[in-house]
């Protein structure tokens, strides 16, 4: 066999790496928490595509003129070219106020493409966040059931650990960068969950197939088999993530502003998903399966 | 004896014909199909209102009542005369109203949300501030008792602007007019005393008319008539969330995302061509078919296309490509194991299929859960994702496989190079 990087043998390094990232992510949550978007936090959010560099004072003045006081730190600058202003209000704006905003915006910022105004009341905000968490958990549960039926429960659990790892990394990045978390973010997390498990299953499928051809008799046999499976599927893993990344990166840089964060979440999640499918899910399965093998094997196969 | 070099041009022609049909159909009709897809608010501008139907202790929510409320909202929205409104019941007590395009949003919200709460009382008193307060015990009739044919009219004798009413149950109005003959009845609109006419005669045909100081113009009468016709809402509505997107912002987003999507797809096409050559070309043709079929499905099912939906579509391209990549890598494996080109293609296709089904099924499950739990944009995204997966199974598996087999069996290109395999591959 050609000399190549032995992934399974070095699994402890990857577990350590992912563990470190997880701890960092947890710290980020505890320190910063989420920057919840209008979908999860009661109040109003006005997003204005100004098509010119945002002058925060000018934005504030505009709102003052129509009798709306912008709270401290209520204006955020966003967009790839810093040409988008996001203004938050703790209160729910009325349709009359929204009409006024649209009018004032056209006068103050002639290049502006208009505003996207969202208002949410507390009950809905709470309901939405609860639904989001349930969606991720339930999706995982159904995936576990399906994979357990088609493969075995160890594969299912290892795959779920990998996908939760990916979802967690994306959430950590958003907490760290103070990026806004809204409903499309939830859609992004769910897509990542879908992609991550999709990617993992392809590798698991190859392991399952190789297991049928050669029955490993010892733990090192098993390690070799999984490592071989990983390398057999490697070019597919890379080629696929590259194609999906091509789409996500292009949409990130040139797509509509409202899906900007969505695409960033996807990019982070896709990279993490490809990584965890190769370096976490399968090695985890080996460690787990191998432990049981070592427990039952010694009498039959003394070393 | 047949040699490996023997070429079957018939099969190759069939292969070319499939390409021609896919490209021709797409180029010829995709613009027409595109026009049939309703665009979401974020893409064309407009506004979305989420109302909660509010129950009260004396009036708990019933399925029929909720249905009536949704119908009443529909009538009102239709009265606004805006293009393609979208009204749906979400959960058990929330109604989402989406109106696209430009119009007076504040006015629309007022018309949808405000109940023309018409009530007639037999007795009312003035409080200290001079405001009339009805005696709740003497409620005679409400807007719900009226037929939806109210309209503005002018009283033939006085020339006054009035709103004509017709009771659903003529007998009820007859009883009221009999009981209150020569006595005043108090008509309240949204809690304000509108008029207190004295009943002049017994009305047996259920017809009546109301007038009042605020109904002094034909416009005011018409508006009240419309609201009454829209049906009195069985329950009050509370606006709990709203989204407004300026039309030019929506258009800018659509344009940017379309261009980005087109660029992404072009890059993916190139990537596949470089990696897998002829097989990559087949994958690309299957991708064109995929995009076309997804658009067709969207148009057919009236799926509202939103920005996240558009993103899901482009992502679906990645997933559809994945199915091809899995198959091609599998074929390469088979060739490495020393199988002939043809048997490699057959075996590769067969073995890849199970992998593709398992991996797509898990993603589909994620999509289904999203649809089940999501709302608004998330639902649009989930639908787009599920459609992409199903369609990609058809194109990236069935179509691509048929084309690959035809191409391989035609024997036109027998070198593994055409399938993206390197020099190290054993040829038999």
Q: What is the pLDDT of residues A30-60, one digit of tens each?
A: 888 888 877 777 888 888 888 888 888 899 9
Q: Tell me which chain A residues have a C-beta less than 8 angstroms from the C-beta of B382.
A: 187, 190
**pLDDT surpasses 60 at A2:** no
Q: Span B140-152, mean pLDDT?
A: 79
Better pLDDT: A72 or A150? A150
Give me the pLDDT at residue B91, please.
78
> Mutation test of the interface with chain B: which of A102, A236, A263, A274, choosing the one with the most B Cβ atoms within 10 A?
A236
Nearest to A114 among B110, B248, B307 (CB): B248
| Interchain contact, A263 vs B275, CB within 8 Å | no
CA distance B193 to B124: 9
**pLDDT surpasses 60 at B193:** yes
Q: Tell me which chain A residues have a C-beta less than 8 angstroms from the C-beta of B52.
A: 123
| Top-confidence range, A89-103, B95-109, B111-125, B386-400 | B386-400
| Interchain contact, B329 vs A117, CB within 8 Å | no
Give me the pLDDT at residue B82, please.
66
| Interchain contact, B319 vs A186, CB within 8 Å | no
* pLDDT averaged over every residue in chain B: 82
Supply φ then ψ for residue B427, to 5 degrees: -110, 135
| Interchain contact, A242 vs B271, CB within 8 Å | yes
Distance from CA of B336 to the nearest CA of A (A): 11
Q: Tell me which chain B residues have a C-beta less than 8 angstroms from the C-beta of A255.
A: 256-257, 260-261, 307, 311
Q: How confident is the model at residue B195 (pLDDT cuts 50, 70, 90)?
A: confident
Q: Confirm if B114 and B190 have CB atoms less than 8 A apart.
A: yes
Distance from CA of B297 to the nearest CA of A (A): 21
| Interchain contact, B325 vs A243, CB within 8 Å | yes
Nearest to B307 among A199, A243, A258 (CB): A258
Nearest to B240 among A121, A138, A146 (CB): A121
Give me the pLDDT at residue A280, please.
95
**pLDDT surpasses 80 at B190:** no
Nearest to A194 among B106, B256, B366 (CB): B366
Give me the pLDDT at residue B83, please.
65
Q: Span B235-242, mean pLDDT?
A: 82
| Interchain contact, B370 vs A190, CB within 8 Å | yes
**pLDDT surpasses 50 at B153:** yes
Distance from CA of A236 to the nearest CA of B (A): 6
Share of chain B above pLDDT 90, in %: 15
Q: Span B94-115, mean pLDDT?
A: 75
> Mutation test of the interface with chain A: which of B112, B239, B359, choosing the one with the most A Cβ atoms within 10 A?
B359
Whole-prediction pTM:
0.77
The region of weakest confidence among A213-222, B24-33, B74-83 is B74-83
Nearest to A131 among B315, B359, B373 (CB): B373
Residue in chain A lying closest to B358 (CA): A201
Query: A114 - beta bridge partners?
Result: A49
| Interchain contact, B253 vs A256, CB within 8 Å | yes
**pLDDT surpasses 80 at B26:** yes
How many cross-chain Cβ pairs, A to B, lie less than 8 Å apart?
233
Give me the pLDDT at residue A156, please.
94
A196: which residues sit within 8 A by CB, 6+ positions away? A162, A163, A166, A167, A269, A272, A273, A276, A277
Provide the edge-to-edge strand list for the sheet that holds B151-154: B151-154, B161-166, B207-210
Better pLDDT: B137 or B25? B25
CA distance B324 to B399: 11
Give me the pLDDT at residue B231, please.
58
CA-based torsion, B98, B103, B109, B112: positive or negative? negative
Q: Tell me which chain B residues have a C-beta less than 8 angstroms from the C-beta of A266.
A: 311, 315
CA distance A156 to B355: 15
Give me the pLDDT at residue B173, please.
85
pLDDT tens digits, residue range A145-174? 999 999 999 999 999 999 999 999 999 999
Nearest to B264 among A132, A143, A250 (CB): A250
**pLDDT surpasses 50 at B45:** yes
| Interchain contact, A99 vs B105, CB within 8 Å | yes
| Local structure of B372: helix, strand or coil | helix
Nearest to B252 among A49, A184, A251 (CB): A49
Distance from CA of A235 to the nearest CA of B (A): 8
pLDDT tens digits, residue range A249-301? 998 888 877 788 889 999 999 999 999 999 999 999 999 998 877 776 554 44
Q: Tell me which chain B residues have a C-beta less than 8 angstroms from the C-beta of A143.
A: 362, 365-366
| Local structure of B17: helix, strand or coil | helix
| Interchain contact, A114 vs B369, CB within 8 Å | no
Q: Tell me which chain A residues have a C-beta less than 8 angstroms from the C-beta of B315.
A: 191, 244, 247-248, 266
Residue in chain B lying closest to A137 (CA): B369
| Interchain contact, A243 vs B381, CB within 8 Å | no
Give me the pLDDT at residue B208, please.
80
**pLDDT surpasses 80 at A28:** yes
Distance set, CA B331 to CA A179, A208, A264, B358, B407 (Å): 43, 18, 34, 19, 14
Q: Tell me which chain A residues have a C-beta less than 8 angstroms from the C-beta of B348.
A: none
**pLDDT surpasses 80 at B351:** yes
Q: Tell me which chain A residues have a C-beta less than 8 angstroms from the C-beta of B244.
A: 98, 102, 115-118
Tell me, rounded to whole angstroms, the distance of Cα B271 from its chain centroid.
34
**pLDDT surpasses 90 at B399:** yes
CA distance B75 to A135: 34
Distance from CA of B322 to the nearest CA of A (A): 5
Q: Which residue has the tokens 């057999």?
A: A232
Give me the pLDDT at residue B271, please.
94
Question: In the numeric block, which tokens belong to residue B297?
Answer: 């499905």
CA distance A36 to A132: 13
Give me the pLDDT at residue B269, please.
93
Give me the pLDDT at residue A275, please.
96
Q: Tell me which chain A residues have a C-beta less than 8 angstroms from the C-beta of B306.
A: none
The region of weakest confidence among A200-209, A245-254, B149-158, B279-288 is B149-158
Q: Span B102-107, mean pLDDT?
A: 68
Q: Tell me which chain A residues have a C-beta less than 8 angstroms from the C-beta of B374.
A: 131, 135, 183, 186-187
Give me the pLDDT at residue B222, please.
78
pLDDT tens digits, residue range B282-295? 999 999 999 999 99
B182: region left, alpha or beta (phi > 0 left; psi from -120 to 50 alpha): left
CA distance A105 to A99: 10
Q: Span B76-92, mean pLDDT?
A: 75
Nearest to B369 among A49, A139, A255 (CB): A139
């Amino acid at each position: 066999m050609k000399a190549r990087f032995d992934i399974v043998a070095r699994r402890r390094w990857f577990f350590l790496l992912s563990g470190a990232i997880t701890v960092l992510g947890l710290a980020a949550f505890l320190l910063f928490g989420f920057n919840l978007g209008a979908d999860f936090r009661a109040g109003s959010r006005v997003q204005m595509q100004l098509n010119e560099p945002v002058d925060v004072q000018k934005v504030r003045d505009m709102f003052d003129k129509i009798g709306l006081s912008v709270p401290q730190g209520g204006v955020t600058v966003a967009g790839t070219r810093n040409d988008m202003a996001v203004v938050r209000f703790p209160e729910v704006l009325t349709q009359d106020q929204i009409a006024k905003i649209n009018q004032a915006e056209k006068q103050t910022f002639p290049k502006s493409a208009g505003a996207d105004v969202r208002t949410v009341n507390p009950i809905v905000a709470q309901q939405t966040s609860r639904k989001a968490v349930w969606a991720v958990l339930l999706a995982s549960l159904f995936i576990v059931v399906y994979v357990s039926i088609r493969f075995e429960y160890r594969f299912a659990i290892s795959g779920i650990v990998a996908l939760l790892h990916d979802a967690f990394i994306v959430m950590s990045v958003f907490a760290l960068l103070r990026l806004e978390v809204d409903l499309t973010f939830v859609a992004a997390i769910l897509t990542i969950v879908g992609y991550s498990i999709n990617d993992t299953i392809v590798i698991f499928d190859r392991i399952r197939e190789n297991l049928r051809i050669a029955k490993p008799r010892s733990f090192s046999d098993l390690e070799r088999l999984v490592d071989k499976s990983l390398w057999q599927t490697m070019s597919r893993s890379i080629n696929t993530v590259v194609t999906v990344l091509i789409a996500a990166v292009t949409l990130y840089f040139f797509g509509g502003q409202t899906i900007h964060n969505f695409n960033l979440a996807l990019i982070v999640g896709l990279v993490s998903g490809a990584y965890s499918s190769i370096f976490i899910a399968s090695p985890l399965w080996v460690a787990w399966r191998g432990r049981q093998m070592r427990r039952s094997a010694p009498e039959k196969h003394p070393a | 004896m047949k040699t490996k070099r023997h070429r079957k041009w018939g099969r190759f022609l069939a292969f070319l014909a499939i390409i021609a049909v896919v490209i021709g159909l797409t180029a010829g009709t995709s613009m027409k199909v595109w026009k049939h897809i309703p665009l979401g608010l974020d893409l064309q501008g407009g506004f979305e209102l989420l109302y909660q139907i509010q129950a009260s202790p004396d009036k708990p929510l019933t399925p029929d009542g909720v249905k009536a409320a949704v119908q009443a909202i529909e009538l009102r929205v239709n009265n606004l005369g805006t293009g393609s409104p979208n009204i749906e019941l979400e959960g058990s007590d929330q109604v989402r109203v989406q109106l696209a395009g430009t119009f007076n949003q504040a006015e629309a919200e007022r018309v949808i949300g405000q109940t023309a709460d018409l009530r007639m009382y037999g007795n009312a008193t003035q409080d200290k501030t001079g405001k009339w307060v009805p005696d709740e015990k003497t409620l005679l009739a409400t807007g719900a008792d009226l037929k939806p044919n109210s309209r503005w009219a002018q009283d033939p004798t006085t020339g006054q602007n009035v709103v004509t009413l017709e009771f659903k149950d003529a007998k009820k109005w007859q009883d009221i007019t009999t009981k209150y003959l020569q006595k005043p009845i108090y008509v309240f609109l949204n809690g304000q005393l509108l008029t207190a006419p004295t009943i002049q005669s017994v009305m047996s045909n259920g017809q009546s008319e109301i007038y009042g100081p605020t109904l002094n113009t034909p416009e005011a009468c018409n508006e009240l008539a419309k609201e009454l016709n829209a049906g009195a809402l069985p329950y009050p509505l509370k606006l709990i969330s709203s989204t407004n997107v300026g039309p030019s912002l929506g258009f800018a987003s659509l344009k940017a995302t379309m261009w980005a999507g087109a660029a992404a797809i072009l890059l993916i096409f190139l990537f596949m061509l470089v990696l897998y050559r002829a097989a990559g070309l087949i994958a690309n043709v299957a991708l064109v078919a995929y995009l076309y079929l997804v658009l067709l499905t969207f148009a057919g099912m009236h799926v509202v296309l939103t920005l996240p939906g558009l993103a899901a579509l482009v992502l679906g391209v990645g997933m559809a490509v994945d199915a091809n990549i899995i198959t091609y890598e599998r074929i390469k494996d088979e060739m490495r194991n020393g199988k002939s080109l043809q048997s490699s293609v057959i075996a590769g296709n067969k073995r890849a299929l199970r992998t593709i089904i398992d991996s797509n099924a898990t993603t589909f499950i994620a999509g289904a859960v999203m649809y089940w739990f999501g709302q608004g944009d998330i639902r649009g995204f989930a639908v787009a994702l599920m459609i992409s997966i199903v369609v990609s199974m058809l194109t990236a598996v069935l179509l691509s496989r048929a084309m690959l087999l035809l191409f391989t069996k035609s024997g036109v290109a027998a070198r593994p190079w055409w399938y993206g395999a390197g020099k190290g591959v054993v040829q038999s």
